[in-house]
Amino acid sequence: MTYLRAIGRAFALAAFALLSWVDVLIQLLTFALLCVGLVFFFGPTLLWARGRSARMRVLAGRWCGVEIEAPYRPEPPEPVRERDGWYRDGNQLYKRAFWISWQHRLTWAMEDPATSREFGWQLVNPLCTLLLPVAVLLGGPVVLRGYGRWTRWWVGPRPPAEPARKNWLHRHLEALGHQLGLFAVSVVQLVFASFQLVVMIFFMPLATPVVLANRTITDTLRREIGNWTGVQIARPYLPPPGLPVPRADGLYQVGRQLYEEPFWPVQHARTRWVYRDRATWRDLLGSLLVPLVSFVMILPTMALVSRGLLGLGALWIWRPFVSPRIDWSPFPAVSTHLGALAQTPVMLAMVFAGLAAAPWLARQQARFARVWFGPTEATRLAQRVERLKQTRSDVTVTQAAELRRIERDLHDGIQSRLVAMGMKLGAVEALVDTDPAAAKRLAAELRTASSEALTELRVLIRGIHPPVLSERGLLDAVRALAMDSPLKSEVTGSLPGRVEEPVEACVYFAVSELLGNAAKHGAKRVSIEVEFADGLLTVVVTDEGPGGANPARGSGLRGIERRLGAFDGRLTLTSPIGGPTKATLEIPCQLDLEPSSPRTSTSSETA
């Protein structure tokens, strides 16, 4: 009876698994729609396919006796409305939470490693289950349990794996894939750029949304170039125009035209912004040149690799089984195993020569793309000026709040202690002749009060500018912070000199805030990297906490952003659900090179 039940369950699993091919077909169709701009279908399709996979895991656990848990990362939290009624996502504000929630769920589903494993399982599982009834007929229920273990290995939860070291062949095959990938993405960008050019020439009112949509495709190319080749390309676009300011009579003026509502002035300003931005036209020209250059750089690699692989196939597959003689130029004809063996090293050399050039050619593709899709000096200056305008008010508010805090601490703390000490001194003067013992007791209390006041004053001074910064510099001050933290900390990095004092204080307090956040949210370990290169101070703080950090939901991270904004700095936060959280502080500054001071390099770890 058990044997027949196992066979019946195998047939049922096979029938249910065939439906996975329907899921695969729908996912491929929605991905094709995603590539042409219809983005709203792919995310729901992925989540819908997860439902069938979950049902398959339940059946496999029930019928095969193997419990299979869900392998997915925790879902992203719902957006939180700010006090002004808007929802914030990065530097963008939204009136409703739908768009933010949809973006976060799509990113969550696509970046989850379980999604790709599940897609591969949906392709392979139906083929395996077609053979499952026969295998169960021959092997019995043991085969069914083996299928359950196989399913758990493929679509069950997996512990995070340590990154494996890649060998030479793996690295160069990957570089070849990067070449092909960059070429493919640049071709997609060329198609959309052609459509953009037509719209900009003949349908000017629609130009702005089309250009902004196509910039997301170019941003994808920039991001993948950085991920694949390490060549980072910054966004070159000018900042968007601000909202129009009405005149004294409440009307909005654009040239000689007056408007009662700000809608049309906004559209005119955005259209002028798009057309006058040189990066828009550089994107169009680059979309034509980058695919051509990429194709030229792919040709040597593909020609050598394909010629070598085809040659090996002809020598050892085609010749022995199909045609006993191979006539090809410029190599001599081959009709024997000895002749094939003689030409095999040549074919292998062609394959390895093509692969050896792939990483270098991929980097050249990326550098050429950076010429056209990266910012110019004029764009960098305009972006920096606009950012300084945006952060100027924040800096003023932050400085005023800091002054009020210092004033409050002095008034409520040190000043009160000094007043109390003055009153006790008066009492000592009155009692020193009549009651010397009481005067001595008051003098002892005054000594204790003065010590406490001095300690409080030192704490206040440390909050304004920590003495450790002046004495030991930024890197050692950060190391001292890490040693005082309850987390297991590691500090690495090097600085060839002293950073400007205001920048040192800014970075010091920012790192202190990040360490406090990590400890508050349950992290056990944190690493801090400090580097300076090309006039940019970079500090990377990574903790192994639960992730999900969002500047919109806390004043600490917003305070760090405002603090860095005073020096034209940036906070870049990467914090997926489940961790790790990586905060990158970048501040342009100058170093005071001190020949008498050795190059500082520290690496410390504290329990």
The model's confidence at residue 597, banded by pLDDT at 50, 70 and 90, is very low
Tell me which range, 369-383, 464-478, 540-554, is most confidently predicted by mean pLDDT.
Answer: 369-383
User: Cis omega (within 30 of 0) on the bond before 551?
Assistant: no
pLDDT at 459: 67
| Whole-angstrom distance, CA of residue 379 vs CA of residue 370 | 14
pLDDT at 484: 80
Please provide the average confidence, as pLDDT, over all residues in the chain: 80
- Tell me what percent of the residues of the chain surpass a pLDDT of 90: 10
Q: Residue 452 pLDDT more than 80?
A: no
Following DSSP, what letter does each residue of 534-577 receive, concatenated? Answer: TTEEEEEEEE-S-----GGG-HHHHHHHHHHHTTT-EEEEE--T
Instruction: Extract the tokens encoding 246.
Output: 């009405």
Number of residues that make up the chain: 607
- At CB < 8 A and 24+ separation, what contacts does 165-169 make? 169/355
| Whole-angstrom distance, CA of residue 180 vs CA of residue 416 | 72
What 3 state SS string does 124-149 have?
HHHHHHHHHHHHHHHHCHHHHHHHHH
The model's confidence at residue 5, banded by pLDDT at 50, 70 and 90, is confident
Q: What are phi and psi of 606, to 5 degrees?
A: -125, 145
Lowest mean pLDDT among 23-37, 141-155, 333-347, 447-461: 447-461
Burial of 221 (C-beta count, 10 Å sphere; 0-12/13-18/19+): buried
* Cβ-contact 72, 50 below 8 angstroms: yes
| Whole-angstrom distance, CA of residue 141 vs CA of residue 138 | 10
pLDDT at 525: 86
| Whole-angstrom distance, CA of residue 528 vs CA of residue 478 | 8
Contacts of residue 97, Cβ cutoff 8 Å, sequence gap at least 6: 78, 79, 81, 87
Q: Residue 453 pLDDT more than 80?
A: no
pLDDT at 281: 92
Q: Residue 368 pLDDT more than 90?
A: yes
Helix or strand (DSSP H, E) at 252 = strand 252-254
Rounded to an integer, the average pLDDT of 361-369 is: 92
Helices (H), 238-376: 263-276, 278-313, 319-321, 337-373
| Whole-angstrom distance, CA of residue 581 vs CA of residue 517 | 11
Q: Residue 554 pLDDT more than 60?
A: no
Using DSSP, state whether 253 is helix, strand or coil: strand
Q: Which residue has the higher pLDDT, 41 or 187?
A: 187
* Cβ-contact 432, 441 below 8 angstroms: no
Burial of 211 (C-beta count, 10 Å sphere; 0-12/13-18/19+): buried
* Cβ-contact 495, 536 below 8 angstroms: no
Contacts of residue 491, Cβ cutoff 8 Å, sequence gap at least 6: 475, 478, 479, 482, 527, 528, 530, 602, 603, 604
The model's confidence at residue 287, banded by pLDDT at 50, 70 and 90, is very high
Instruction: Extract the tokens encoding 119.
Output: 């897609």
Lowest mean pLDDT among 120-129, 325-334, 511-520: 325-334
Rounded to an integer, the average pLDDT of 504-524 is: 83
* Cβ-contact 601, 494 below 8 angstroms: yes
Rounded to an integer, the average pLDDT of 76-89 is: 77
Helix or strand (DSSP H, E) at 93 = strand 92-94
CB atoms within 10 A of CB 119: 18
| Per-residue DSSP letter, 523 | -
Name residue 494's beta-bridge partners.
601
Instruction: Extract the tokens encoding 166.
Output: 């890649």
| Per-residue DSSP letter, 81 | B
Q: What are phi and psi of 450, to 5 degrees?
A: -65, -40
| Whole-angstrom distance, CA of residue 593 vs CA of residue 430 | 59
Query: From residue 308, how far is each of 52, 245, 311, 326, 434 by CA, in Å?
Result: 44, 67, 5, 15, 110
Per residue in 478-490, pLDDT tens?
A: 888 888 888 888 8
| Whole-angstrom distance, CA of residue 289 vs CA of residue 14 | 50
Using DSSP, state whether 531 is helix, strand or coil: strand
Which of 549, 535, 529 is closest to 482 using CA atoms?
A: 529
| Whole-angstrom distance, CA of residue 396 vs CA of residue 171 | 50
The model's confidence at residue 600, banded by pLDDT at 50, 70 and 90, is very low
Report the C-alpha dihedral over residues 323, 328, 332, 336, rounded to 10 degrees. Answer: -10
* Cβ-contact 580, 547 below 8 angstroms: yes
Per residue in 55-76, pLDDT tens?
A: 888 888 888 888 888 888 888 8
Using DSSP, state whether 499 is helix, strand or coil: strand
Per residue in 138-195, pLDDT tens?
A: 787 888 888 888 888 888 887 765 555 678 888 888 888 899 889 988 998 999 999 9
Instruction: Extract the tokens encoding 408.
Output: 């409050």
Helices (H), 159-262: 168-202, 207-229
Rounded to an integer, the average pLDDT of 247-271 is: 78
- Tell me what percent of the residues of the chain surpass a pLDDT of 70: 87
| Whole-angstrom distance, CA of residue 24 vs CA of residue 46 | 10
Per residue in 7-38, pLDDT tens?
A: 888 888 888 888 888 888 898 888 888 766 67
Q: Which residue has the higher pLDDT, 601 or 438?
A: 438
Query: From residue 405, how far is each of 214, 409, 429, 465, 513 by CA, in Å?
Result: 47, 6, 35, 14, 17
- Looking at the chain, the number of H-run helices and the number of E-run strands are 19, 12
Tell me which range, 108-112, 295-299, 335-339, 504-508, is most confidently predicted by mean pLDDT.
Answer: 295-299
pLDDT at 409: 65
Q: How many angstroms from the chain centroid is the CA of residue 13?
A: 40
- Greatest CA span in the chain, whole angstroms? 127
Q: Which residue has the higher pLDDT, 368 or 42?
A: 368
Q: Residue 498 pLDDT more than 50?
A: yes
Lowest mean pLDDT among 34-38, 138-142, 439-443, 510-514: 34-38
Find the distance separating the first CA and the last CA of the chain, reported in whole Å. Answer: 60
Q: Which residue has the higher pLDDT, 246 or 514?
A: 514
pLDDT at 292: 94
